[in-house]
């Protein structure tokens, strides 16, 4: 079980969530300029996968069981990879130019790094607790 040494009061205090949320807002702004036929298909899938990154971070935030928390973070990482694909697809369909795609990829890489770091810290605490038992 998770100790009550949580230093955050809300998921909004997590830097990983802040970066993921900023990414979602950026995606929604970018998709607004897609042609209508692509906006309903590629744009919706891109928005859905981007939002799933942040919502899964939120979903795992208050979980007491570390395995359950890690499952949410794994799902967030899976959504991040889906998002990476949709960026590639949108670029190949000429909905994003190279600069936009690189900017979005850089943001995704930052979120991925933070997400992996967050998961590693949870695993480390889980393993430390197991050693204590």
pTM: predicted TM-score of the whole model, two decimal places? 0.89
Domain containing 37 equals 32-132
Q: Which of 45, 46, 56 lies closest to 20 in space, CA to CA?
A: 56
Tokens of 106: 């850089």
Strands (E), the chain: none
Domain contains 24: no
Domain contains 26: no
Query: What total of structural domains would you count in the chain?
Result: 1
Residue 14 has pLDDT above 60, yes or no: yes
Domain contains 106: yes
Give the CATH number of the domain where residue 66 resides.
Answer: 1.20.1440.60
Burial 100-117 (b: 16+ CB within 10 A, else e): bbeebeebbebbbebbee
Domain contains 22: no
Domain contains 94: yes
The separation between CA 13 and the C-alpha centre of its own chain, rounded to angstroms, equals 15
Domain contains 20: no
Domain contains 6: no
Give residue-wise pLDDT tens across range 77-101. 999 999 999 999 999 999 999 999 9
Give residue-wise pLDDT tens across range 31-43. 998 988 877 799 9
pLDDT computed for residue 65 by the predictor:
92
């Amino acid at each position: 079980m998770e100790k009550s040494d949580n230093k955050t009061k809300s998921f909004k205090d997590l830097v990983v969530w802040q970066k993921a949320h900023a990414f979602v807002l950026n995606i929604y702004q970018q998709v607004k300029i897609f042609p209508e036929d692509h906006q309903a298909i590629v744009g919706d899938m891109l928005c859905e996968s981007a939002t799933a990154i942040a919502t899964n971070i939120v979903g795992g935030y208050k979980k007491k069981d570390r395995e359950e928390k890690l499952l949410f973070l794994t799902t967030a990482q899976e959504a991040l990879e889906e998002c990476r694909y949709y960026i590639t697809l949108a670029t190949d369909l000429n909905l994003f130019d190279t600069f936009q795609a690189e900017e979005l990829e850089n943001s995704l890489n930052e979120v991925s790094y933070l997400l992996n770091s967050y998961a590693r810290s949870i695993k480390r605490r889980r393993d430390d607790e197991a050693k204590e038992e």
